[in-house]
Every structure is written in C-alpha cells, then in structure tokens.
A and B are shown apart, each in its own frame.
Chain A
Amino acid sequence: MPATSKTAAQVLELERYKHGFITDIDQDVAPRGLTEETVRFISAKKDEPDWMLAWRLEAFARWRALEEPNWARVDYPPIDYQDIHYYAAPRAGEGPKSLDEVDPELLATYAKLGIPLSEQAVLAGVEGAPRYAVDAVFDSVSVVTTFKAELAAVGVIFCPMSEAIREHGDLVRQYLGSVVPVSDNYFACLNSAVFSDGSFVYVPPGVRCPMELSTYFRINAEKSGQFERTLIIADRGSYVSYLEGCTAPMRDENQLHAAVVELVALDDAEIKYSTVQNWYPGDAEGRGGIYNFVTKRADCRGARSKVSWTQVETGSAVTWKYPSCVLRGDHSTGEFYSIAITNNRQQADTGTKMIHLGAHTRSRIISKGISAGRSSSTYRGLVSAHPKAKGARNFTQCDSLLIGPHAAAHTTPYVEARNSGAQFEHEATTTRLSEEQLFYARQRGLTQEEAVQLLVNGFVKDVLQELPMEFAVEAQKLVAISLEGSVG
C-alpha cells in the first residue's frame, strides 16, 4: 500500500502528532457519495428497525433543503459531500462478541493510544488506579465495550448506539433528537441521516454510576467522514461522569467529523461530560487535518439537575462547536470549562450557550483560549435569560493567551436578558505570553519549551482541575505537545 507507507514515512518525519499512525485493516466501506441509497445502506448494515430508517430518511430529506452555514470565523475550501465515504467499518463479520474476537491489529491500535480495552489488563493494573469502562469507536462502528456486566448489575446501560437502537429501542426513540432536533443545523441534520455509531448511556433513578464511562473515537479510513451520535440519559437523582477522547491519523486531505451529542438530565441528576479532542490538526502549512463540526447540547430537563461540560481542544484543522446547556428545570445548573489551543494554521470557533428557561437557574463559563503560530481562536458564547427565568445567574470568564506575533484571538459574547431579575457577570482578558515571565523561568533553569509549558499550564489551571485526574494528566501532556515549537 504505497499511500500507507508514504504516510507512515511522514509520521516518522514529523512525529509531532504522536497518534498519527494508520492501521491496516480490511475495511467494509460504503461507496463514496450521499444519496437516499447511502442512508438505506447504513441502516441496513446496522440491522435497524423501520422507525429508525424513517427517522434517517426524514433527516436526509431536510438536509437536502438546508444550506451550509458560513457565519463562524473559520475559513476552509468548500466540502464536496459527494466525495466522502459515509460508512467505514473494520471487517469483522458479525462484530466481535468478546475481546478474543477483536482483530489483534485493532487492539494494537488502541494499545498505542494508551487505551485499555482488556478488563483484565485494567484490573491487573496498579492497585487503587481508577477504572474506566471504555467504548471504542473505530471509524464508523463501536468495536468493544468493557465492563458491561458490572455496569448492568446496577442497571446502567452503556453500549454502542447501534446496539441501543436494537435492544433499547423505546429509550432511544423517546430521547433521540429531543435535545438536538433533526433539523437543528446543517451538520446535525447530516449526522441524523448518516450517523453510524456512537455511545449510549442510561443511568437509572438514584444510581451513581460506579465508574467513569469513556469513549474513544478514532478516524482511520481515508476519505471517510465520522458521524457519531452519543446519547446520555441520567434519570432522576443519578450521576454519571463520561469521558470522550479523539484521535485520527495524519493525512494530507481534510476529513469531516460531524458528531451530535445529546445529554438529558432529569430531576436532581448530574452529568459530567469531559472531552479531550486531539484530532489530527494538519501540518505546519495547514495541509490536511480534521474538520470538527460538532453539535453538543445538554437539556437540564429536571429540577435541580446539573450538567458540566469540560473540554480540552487541541486538535483539528478547523473546530466549530458550542457545547451548550438548556436550563429548563428550576434551580438547574450548567457549567462550561474549556481550554482551546490552536497552533500553526489551526482555526477554532468555540464556546457555549447557556439558555436559562427555569427559575433560579445558574451557569458558569470559564474559557481559556491559547493561540500560537498563525492560528486563530474565537470564543463565541450566548447567555440568555427568558421571562420565566427569575433569579437566573451567570458568571463568565474568557481569557485569551497569545503566543508569538502572528496569532489571533477573538471574543464574541452575546448576552440577552429578558427579565430584570437576571444577574450576568462577564470578565475577559487577552494577554500575550510575556518575555519577562519566560526569561524569569529560564533564569531558574527551565528551557524555553519547559517555560512555555509551565506558564501555559498555569494559565489553564482553573479548567484542568475540572477534569478527572487521569484525563488531566493526559491533557497536560497534550498542551505541551500542541505548543511544541511555538516560541523562538
């Protein structure tokens, strides 16, 4: 495979993007292009019930009537939606029943990523080490989910979305599209038509999920899009913490990633959703990389419910996403903690929306943007209080750090208060990484790169400490890798 060896050589050459390897596995792919037939093909591959196919076809019909939006502060050549594979799956017949049946190459891939897919391996690990249940999604399909039995014992459902559609159809049907409607936006609509897999979580009333749930997404196939769909439902009084990690190989063409994540928190429930996004960002000249156009939204449907989004965005050529909270239940709380790092020619337009509908709803936004190289980073946020949101409160803090003379940072906050009792606070700063600080650290013995890492880690500390510990360590390393070579 000349293309593979060429890319492999590139990997060796650049090394900067350490997850940039390609796994050589027989792929089961849909032909390029998007027609009603493609949608039917995906649905048939997944052995879906009729209602699901009908849902997809409706989404497809609506998508055809929509136009691609262009309001974000990002710039990329037009995407040819007919030149993408909408389905790519590692060929493993019926799908693995256990780890023993998983293609060893696939296991090796995840091992390289540092993701434990073997429960034994996890259990054999250091005593007291946190345990994660992992759902691994490779291109379009979920390949393995660990700790399912242990979770089932307390009633927690954690499985691939395709399985949930077959096995837990009533739950999926009740909640799918209830937070992000089919025609919410162009990319969400596309996702609704062609999504192939993702994770499904249901936590029953009063249950505190006994371990962190984690999904790792990896795009592998060439010219393929990844359209995963995640749905998490926290029933009354339950709690769940969910981690999402993403990587992709280095390729010199751009790949589209358009996911939809829906969270539903009922009365007194709490969901903590953390993301470490490290899709391939493209090379120093801006060639290749992932277009990350994602719709993430939480519905704090119940009274006193709480959703907390934490994201560390270091990858992708173009990022366009706003994990949001609809604060519908009275006394519900939404939080958004974000670190967005752009380097070289990366572009990010990201932020959040906090929609206060219920009384005494509260929200908190801490956003840290770091731009280096010739990159551009925009914080775009909306905080709104509707007439019934008496006593709504928001605190927003947006800090931007510029590294070098050619990076750009923008802050675009929108605020709408439709009742006089709402209290909104907004603080924003933009600073340049100071030469004085760098010299001070170097005078004490740190190298230039160590000094940048230390200063940047200090800058993002408020957000890092919101991440589950193991992720925080990973995120800290990512911060360091993303900024290598950004100074001097």
Chain B
Amino acid sequence: MTALLEVRNLSARVADTQILSNLSLSLPAGEVHAIMGPNGAGKSTLSHVLTGKPGYEVTGGEARLDDQDLLALEPEARASRGVFLSFQYPVEIPGVPALTFLRTALNAQKKARGEAEVSAPDFLKLVRAKAAGLKMDFDMLKRALNVGFSGGEKKRMEILQMAVLAPRLAILDETDSGLDIDALRIVAEGVNALRAPDRSMLVITHYQRLLDYIRPDRVHVLAGGRIVASGGPELALDLEREGYDRFVDLAA
C-alpha cells in the first residue's frame, strides 16, 4: 500500500541555486511527521514545491498524493485535492474580510471537486464552531484577513482555515515561530484536534518546542536539501541536545 504522500528523489532549484537534492519521504495516512533542520536546509522550499509556488523549478523526482502526480497540478488544483499549507508568514489581504476569503476558498474547492457550495448559514455555523475551539473572537473574522493581526492571531487564523477546509495533507511551516507559550498551546491543541485517520500532517519546525505539544509519529532531519536521518520522537530530543552540526556534516 502506498503512503498518502510519497516523495521520491525530489530535486528543485530557485534560479541557479539547487535547494532540494534527491529528497525522499513517505507519509502514511493518519500520521504526523516532523521535518526538522537548520536554517537554509530547504524546509520552506519543500513546502513551497509541494504546494506549487511559482518560482521553483523541479529538476527531478516526483511527489504523489494518493498515488496521483502532485507536481503537474496548478496550486489551486492541489488545494482542492486536499493539500493545505499553513504559511510561515501569512499574507495580509486588505479589504477582504477573513470570512469572505474563507468562504470563497471553501466554495472554490467544493466547486473544483464537483460538490455543492456551502450555504451562508451553514458556513457561519461551521466557522463559529471552529473559531470557538481556537478561542478566537468571531468579530475578528469580519476584519480584513490578517491586516493588523498579531503574530499569534495570524497563526490561529491559519489553523482555523485548516479546520474549515479539512485537508487530506496539512503542511505546517514554522507554525511555532512568533508565538508565545499560551498561543503555542492553543495552536497546538487546534492542530491535535484535527488529527484523523485519513489526514496526514507534515510539521516543519526549527525547534523541538512545538513537538512537546504536537507529538509526531516520525521525525526527519532535513539538511543540504535531503532527508539525512529519520527516527521516532526521541530524535527531536537528540537534536535539541546536540544541535544540527553532525547532520550538516552528514549532508556534506
């Protein structure tokens, strides 16, 4: 049986700089895997290549979601097949209320999947429930998306979008950056609530801290553009203690 996400020998570059080299990764359905690594290892690039951000050139290898070629699809087609990225730096969208944005996104995905659009009352009911779970003030959702939001509010908004869009594969890129300990706990609880047998998560982080709250099934070390070591949750603790140096040497 193939995993939900199967990455094989993936290589990618930006302009003339090779960033990913022969990266392989297998993420079974229902599991949460952490990707850890030093700055510049290619962690964010991996999230961008998987979601189809323009500006990256795939030079080799493949990525398959449910055994379907992911890399040939437009970003929006990947989204409607269930790929979600919680951005490291969520973008501000002036003049567009968060609710409007989210409803437009949900209906765009439903339309692409040939499902009926969600009605306004059903949508509001759904969002209210999810926002309450993340201890978010509902009035905040009437404001322009992320405009004037604090770092913690932006990250909560990402997780709220994830909860509403209910993806198959969630990629969380440095979701812990810029969060104080209370916000971190709330965000982590939100993520844990979304763990499900048919949903997989890729948690990208520089620090072990987040993994105290979101306990991964596997930990992978990304250095020099490829996975250089994999192990259980204890690997994260080793990294915290020993640093990345030994893995950077491995990659070289």
Interface residues of A (CB under 8 A from B): 434-437, 439-448, 450, 454-455, 457-462
Residues in B neighbouring A443, C-beta threshold 8 A: 51-53, 75-76, 78-79, 84-85, 87
Residues in A neighbouring B91, C-beta threshold 8 A: 434, 436-437, 440
Residues in A neighbouring B85, C-beta threshold 8 A: 443
User: What 10 pairs between A and B have smallest CB-CB spacing?
Assistant: A458-B95, A444-B105, A458-B96, A445-B109, A461-B95, A445-B79, A440-B91, A442-B75, A445-B108, A442-B76
Given contacts A445-B79, A454-B101, contact A437 B93 (CB under 8 A): yes
Residues in B neighbouring A448, C-beta threshold 8 A: 74, 76
Question: How big is the B interface, by class?
Answer: 20 to 34
Of the candidates B55, B74, B165, which one forms a contact with A444 in the assembled complex, judged by CB atoms under 8 Å apart?
B165
For the complex, what is the distance from the CA of A443 to the CA of B78, rounded to whole Å? 8
For the complex, what is the distance from the CA of A146 to the CA of B87, rounded to whole Å? 54
For the complex, what is the distance from the CA of A437 to the CA of B54, rounded to whole Å? 12
Closest chain A residue to B74 by CB distance?
A442
Residues in B neighbouring A457, C-beta threshold 8 A: 95-96
9 cross-chain CB contacts under 8 A: A439-B75, A441-B105, A444-B109, A445-B76, A454-B104, A457-B96, A458-B93, A458-B95, A462-B95
Of the candidates A434, A447, A460, which one forms a contact with B76 in the assembled complex, judged by CB atoms under 8 Å apart?
A447
Given contacts A439-B54, A460-B95, A461-B95, contact A446 B144 (CB under 8 A): no
- Please tell me if B129 contacts chain A, counting CB pairs below 8 Å: no
Known: A443-B78, A459-B94. 19 other contacts (CB 8 A): A435-B54, A436-B91, A437-B93, A442-B75, A443-B76, A443-B85, A444-B79, A444-B101, A445-B76, A445-B109, A445-B112, A446-B76, A446-B105, A447-B74, A448-B76, A450-B108, A454-B93, A454-B96, A454-B100
Contact A447 B53 (CB under 8 A): no
Contact A440 B104 (CB under 8 A): no
Q: Tell me, rounded to whole Å, the shortest Cβ–Cβ distance linking B97 to chain A.
A: 9
- Please tell me if B161 contacts chain A, counting CB pairs below 8 Å: yes
Residues in B neighbouring A442, C-beta threshold 8 A: 52, 74-76, 79
Mark out the residues of chain B between 67 and 88 whose CB falls within 8 Å of any chain A CB in the assembled complex: 74-76, 78-80, 84-85, 87
Residues in A neighbouring B96, C-beta threshold 8 A: 454-455, 457-458, 461
- Please tell me if B232 contacts chain A, counting CB pairs below 8 Å: no
For the complex, what is the distance from the CA of A315 to the CA of B51, rounded to whole Å? 37
Residues in B neighbouring A455, C-beta threshold 8 A: 93, 96
